[in-house]
Structures are given as structure tokens and as C-alpha cells.
Amino acid sequence: MNDTHEHPAAGREALRITTLQAHILEQQANHPGASGTLSWILSALSISAKIIADRVRRARLENVLGSVGTENVQGEVQQKLDVLANDVLMRTLAGREGVAIVASEENEEPVILRDGSHSVPRYCVLFDPLDGSSNLDVCGGVGTIFSILEFQPGRARAEESLLQPGARQIAAGYVLYGSSTVFVLTTGGGVDLFVLDPGIGAFMRVERGLRIPAGNKTYSVNEGHRAGFEPGLRRYLDWAQAHGYSSRYTGAMVGDVHRILLKGGVFLYPSTQKAPEGKLRLMYEANPMAMIIEQAGGKAMAGPHRRILEVPPVGVHQRTPVILGAADQVDAVLAHLGP
Ligand code: AHG
Ligand code: MN
Ligand code: MN
């Protein structure tokens, strides 16, 4: 008999109301030495996500759909909202004392905000401000992907701090602007899921410690490129099709990976004859997604024997092949690849 009149929510996670802000503070309290710097950065990302979500929802009404007529460093057409989302992230992160360097898909060079040593750690924030932006004109899901690394003061060039393998990420996450806006975050202790409550303007925690389910016979790949895939991958596709697999592919990595995180399956953006390193960018697309997938019990590989998180970075915008998802489904792909 409980005579302390404890509310049932005290003992049951499902009954508690926890915002992303509260979650971040909770995590900080679990690390007694933490300075709070990382918490401020995560809160800047959450504010950016709310602003971008709002702009995405009103894009058609405000006439900010379509391209700006310029190309980014990847030679890809920039959508107006790519530029807008990039600007929102830059402006919120610039105000955070703990951010040393910011690197974006939309900027050729990283932006050094603060250099030199400091009494508390500083961080590098890398991001794809709007992923899948070609989906915007048709109301498809788009996202923001981010990766956080610790800044290493004292290097000859501050930018060198960025070139750390993904295994050294301090935190990673993405925001999916879909039928609802979801924020997925890991700081290395599992993966947590938040949904934006538009009524109160806060991200609410809806799931903790997500685990990718096994046994989902679904692959996600642009099969239009099949002729350029290596023979092993073509064998995998033949095998999958002979074994009752389904295909799901939206053309926005955030949407495709989110489905896999919740339902299982495998996502591939492999090397092709035309693009031997694939298309996706290591530092702000593949690495953060790989950390999330591994933290949820899945696998994220750049090739048959190499984890994405172990690929040595040589440039901020370098590309890598990607095979990630539920461990059983990634293994099924790897079993068909050559040595
Ligand atoms: P972005 O819009 O940031 O350039 O990224 C698009 C990426 C990724 O989201 C998606 O998985 C892939 O490009 C789709 O490429 P294909 O059109 O070649 O399938
Ligand atoms: Mn992208
Ligand atoms: Mn993008």
C-alpha cells in the first residue's frame, strides 16, 4: 500500500509529460561534470527545427518554393528553402558560445565562429539543413540532419577539427518535417523520439530507447540506377524480389531512414559506375544516420567490411556508399556482395 500518495506518472514513463528541453536537462544532470554547453547547442537545434517546420508548412503560401537559380558546392540546384533553412541554423547556432565551427551542405567552406582554447569544451556542428529538398514542391517529407563533434583547439587550421571519424560524434539527430514534425536524437545512450505539439510549440518525448525491429522484408534504394550497381547488389535485388520483399523509396533520406528506424528494413545508396563513392555525404548525412541506426541496434556500413562510423574523413563534403538499417536486413545485403 502506497501511503505517500505518489502520482502514478512518477513511476510510469508513458504517463509523464517530458519536453525535449526537459529531456536535455535530464541528460545533462546524468553527467555531473557537464558544463551545459552541449545542452545549449541542442536547444538551438530544436528552435531551428521549429522555425524551419513553420517555413516548410507555409512555403507555398509565402512563395518560397522552387529554386533560387544557384547551385551549392555539390553542383546541385539550391531550393529557396535550402538557403532559408541554412540561414536559420546559422543564425541560431551563431549565438551559442559553445559552437566553434559550423559546416553545412550549403556552404563550401566551414564557418569558424570561435577559435582558440576555452575553459569548457566547444563543439563543431555539421548539418544538412534541408534533406530531400526536391520533395518540397510536391509536399513530400523533408528533413534536417545534424552531427556534433568536439572541437579540438590548438590545430594548425581550425577546420581540421571537423575531420574526425563518425565514431567520435558526441551527438547526432534529424528532424523530419512530415505529416507531423519529429525530432530524433542520440547522445550515445540510445535513441529518443520527440513529436512537435503545434498547439504549445514544444517537442514532446514520445519514445525512449528505440530499437529497430527485425524481420521486415523491405528495401529502400533508387532502382533506377540498377544498371550501374555492382553485380553483388544486383544479385541481392534478384534474391530479395524472389523472396517476397517490398520496396519503399521517397527520395529523401530522412523519410526513408525514419521508416526503417520504426519498422525495420534496409536503406541503400550504393556506389554506382557513374558515382563510385555514391551520392550521400559522409559528415552530415551518413555519419549522423549511422550513429542513430547503431544506437538503435542496427548496422550502418560503407562496404562489406567497413562501418560508416570508421570511414576516415578527408574532406567536409566527401561522399560515401551507404547500407544501413536493421542488422538482419543489412546482413542479407552484405551476404550477396563480393569480397
Ligand atoms: P539533398 O536534398 O540534401 O541534396 O539530399 C537528397 C539525397 C537524399 O535525401 C536522398 O536519399 C537522395 O538524395 C536521393 O537521390 P536520388 O534522387 O539519386 O535517388
Ligand atoms: Mn541531403
Ligand atoms: Mn540538403
pTM, to two decimals: 0.95
Phi, psi (degrees; rounded to nearest 5) at 96 = -100, 115
What is the distance between the alpha carbons of residues 206 and 223, in angstroms, rounded to a whole number? 34
Strand intervals (E) in 72-158? 77-79, 99-104, 111-112, 123-131, 142-150
- Computed over every residue of the chain, the mean pLDDT equals 94
pLDDT at 31: 84
Task: Specify the CATH class of 35-179 in words.
Answer: alpha beta
| pLDDT above 90 coverage of the chain, percent | 80
| Neighbouring-strand partners of residue 325 | 266, 299
The string of pLDDT tens digits covering residues 117-138 is 778 889 999 999 999 998 998 9
Q: Whose CA is closest to 101, among 336, 295, 283? A: 283
pLDDT at 9: 85
Grid cell in block for residue 11: 513511476
Provide the residue ranges of all domains of the chain, joining segments of one domain with +.
Answer: 35-179, 218-334
Calculate mean pLDDT across residues 187-208. Answer: 97
**Substitution site in 253, 260, 272 for ligand 1 pocket (most atoms within 8 Å of beta carbon):** 253
Question: Is there a contact between 297 and 211 (Cβ–Cβ < 8 Å)?
Answer: yes
Q: Whose CA is closest to 34, among 127, 133, 144, 123? A: 123
Provide the CATH number for the domain formed by 218-334 in this structure.
3.40.190.80
The string of pLDDT tens digits covering residues 42-80 is 999 999 999 999 999 998 888 888 888 777 877 777 888
Calculate mean pLDDT across residues 14-38. Answer: 90
Calculate mean pLDDT across residues 142-150. Answer: 97
Greater confidence (216 vs 158) lies with 216
Atom 2 of ligand 1: nearest residue by CA position: 132
| Neighbouring-strand partners of residue 112 | 101
The string of pLDDT tens digits covering residues 266-321 is 999 999 999 999 999 999 999 999 999 999 999 999 999 999 999 999 999 999 99
In this structure, how many other beta carbons lie within 10 angstroms of the beta carbon of residue 70? 10
pLDDT at 316: 96
Give distance in angstroms: CA of 241 to centre of ligand 3: 31
pLDDT at 2: 53
DSSP string, 14-58: GG---BHHHHHHHHHHHSTT--SHHHHHHHHHHHHHHHHHHHHHT
**Substitution site in 269, 271, 284 for ligand 1 pocket (most atoms within 8 Å of beta carbon):** 269
**Is 197's pLDDT higher than 90?**
yes
- 76: Cβ below 6 Å to ligand 1? yes
Give distance in angstroms: CA of 242 to centre of ligand 2: 31
pLDDT at 269: 98
Integer angstrom CA distances of residue 333 from 8, 190, 231, 270, 274: 46, 25, 12, 11, 21
